[in-house]
Amino acid sequence: MIDATAQPEPPPSQARLRVLVVDDSAAQRQLLSAVLTRMDFDVVTAENAGQALFLCMSDDDAPIGMILSDWQMPGMDGPDFCRAFRQMARDDYAYVILMTSETDRAKKALALEAGADDFVTRPLDFGELRARLNTGRRILGMQEALQHRNHEVHTALTNLSALHDAMQQDLKEARKLQRAFLPPSQYSTKGSDVALRLVTSGQIGGDLVGYFPISETRIGLYSIDVSGHGVASALLTGRLAALFSWNSRRANIAFRSNGHDVYAPDEVMARLNDLMLTEMSTDIYFTAVLAYVDMESGEVAFCQAGHPHPLLRRASGAVERLGAGGMPVGMLAEARFDCTAVTLRPGDAFLTYSDGLTECENTWGDMLEEEGLMQVLAEVPDGATAAVDAIEAALAAHSGINDFADDISMLLFRYDRPAGVQQGLAAR
């Protein structure tokens, strides 16, 4: 976070630039005061370096912006005065011009190193003096403008930092709400197990996985990946989570108006496609898999809408790739969606997931790919939760020191034929 006190506010612009004339000659001080006053400078004078340093230390109300000092003075000379002046703690910069008859370049170089900015030759040529003073005035004007610009930039950055912190806090709360949309991460019914996992690459994500009851013997499973990774994508996942409510049939888009029968998975996708194109003015779309599982027969009917192919792991460890692809939801009004069926046998597992798994990169930039995921799935232990844990661990091992570049979401259903009629997931 940017510290607002680290950049002090620049001093207000002065109507007239204050110039300090330092010269041990009273006549020279009087002459220079008259010339500088006609040039619209606010002039103060000092007869020696000690008095000049005191004036510079007590100039808080009207800071000295330019100093015109003699080189040869009793006690502390011009270069020594420059060195002492530059060692003072000041918020602003003062432009120092030494008046000298010195022609030795080495001595002038030492004076520049001591803190002088310019020289004017004695005896004074007032045309040259005016030019040197105007040069200093221009430089100080640019410096003042730069100070104000820097302060404006710092203020803007401070405000942006505060907004960023507030946004991060809002996103943190939004993540909690997004998690609240999901059903419990694991569930068992009639001998079968469901486990889901969602790992967002940022504070909030565009992936969604879940399940909902259809009847005592049927359950709906869904996996959704909204395009993009920002707030808009997260808002759409919230809307979709409500449309696939796991505890309210009236709110669930899969159910017909009677609250008992469901539309086929491909019909649900068509309904969502119409909703996206007619009621939501956005370029965002999403891919999805929606599956209905009959927990008595093991039959799975699913629709794949542009989502990665579901994977079927047989009890033997063999892995099969399911589905034919399909169009994403919310892209084309004339998109058609198809339904596919497969039968599970006891011990089989049905996995649906987002492309964050197959596109997970290692430190060399190599993706896991579908083949890699199939190999991982073939070796997972029994039990839905243990299998999901093993897949996530394999992804972490593949990515190495890299963070996940995309959201990771998956849902695994492990089937086991029920021994008898048991109380299933009750829909409300």
Architecture of domain 181-414: 4-Layer Sandwich (3.60)
Q: What does R_g of the chain's alpha carbons equal in angstroms?
A: 39
Q: Which pLDDT score is estimated for 428?
A: 35
SS3 (DSSP) at 422? coil
Residue 49 in 3-state DSSP?
Answer: helix
CA torsion angle 252 303 315 297 (round to 10): 60
What token pair was written down for 256? Answer: 């017909």
Is pLDDT at 14 greater than 70 in this prediction? no
Per-position DSSP letters for 298-362, written without gaps between them: -EEEEEEEBSPPPEEE-TTS-EEE-----PPBTS-TT-----EEEE--TT-EEEEE-HHHHT-B-
Among 304, 353, 342, which Cα is nearest to 196's?
353
- Whole-model pTM: value is 0.64
DSSP state of 1: -
User: CB-based contacts of 422: which residues, under 8 Å, 6+ apart?
Assistant: 189, 190, 191
DSSP code for 86: H
Among 15-19, 26-30, 388-392, the least confident range: 15-19
Q: Which pairing describes strands 186-189 and 192-199: parallel, antiparallel, or unpaired?
A: antiparallel
Average pLDDT on 285-298 reads 95
At the top level of CATH, the class of 18-151 is alpha beta
**What sections of 244-287 are H helices per DSSP?**
265-279
pLDDT(364) > 60:
yes
For 223-256, what is each residue's pLDDT tens digit? 999 987 677 787 888 888 889 988 889 999 999 9
The predicted pLDDT at position 422 comes to 42
Element containing residue 111 per DSSP (H, E) = helix 105-114
pLDDT digits (tens, 9 = 90+) for 98-136: 999 888 889 889 989 999 999 998 898 999 999 999 999
Domain range annotation of the chain: 18-151, 181-414
Tokens describing residue 195: 């486990």
Long-range contacts of 368-376 (CB under 8 A, 24+ apart): 368/395, 368/398, 370/308, 370/309, 370/321, 372/398, 373/311, 374/311, 374/319, 374/321, 375/319
**Mean pLDDT of all residues in 417-421:** 62
Residue 95 CA to residue 6 CA, distance in Å, equals: 25
- Is the pLDDT at 303 greater than 50, yes or no? yes
The neighbour count for residue 156, using CB atoms within 10 Å, is 10
pLDDT surpasses 60 at 372: yes
pLDDT at 9: 62
pLDDT tens digits, 179-214: 677 788 899 988 899 999 988 776 666 789 999 999
pLDDT digits (tens, 9 = 90+) for 36-92: 999 999 999 999 999 999 999 887 778 899 999 999 998 899 999 999 999 988 878
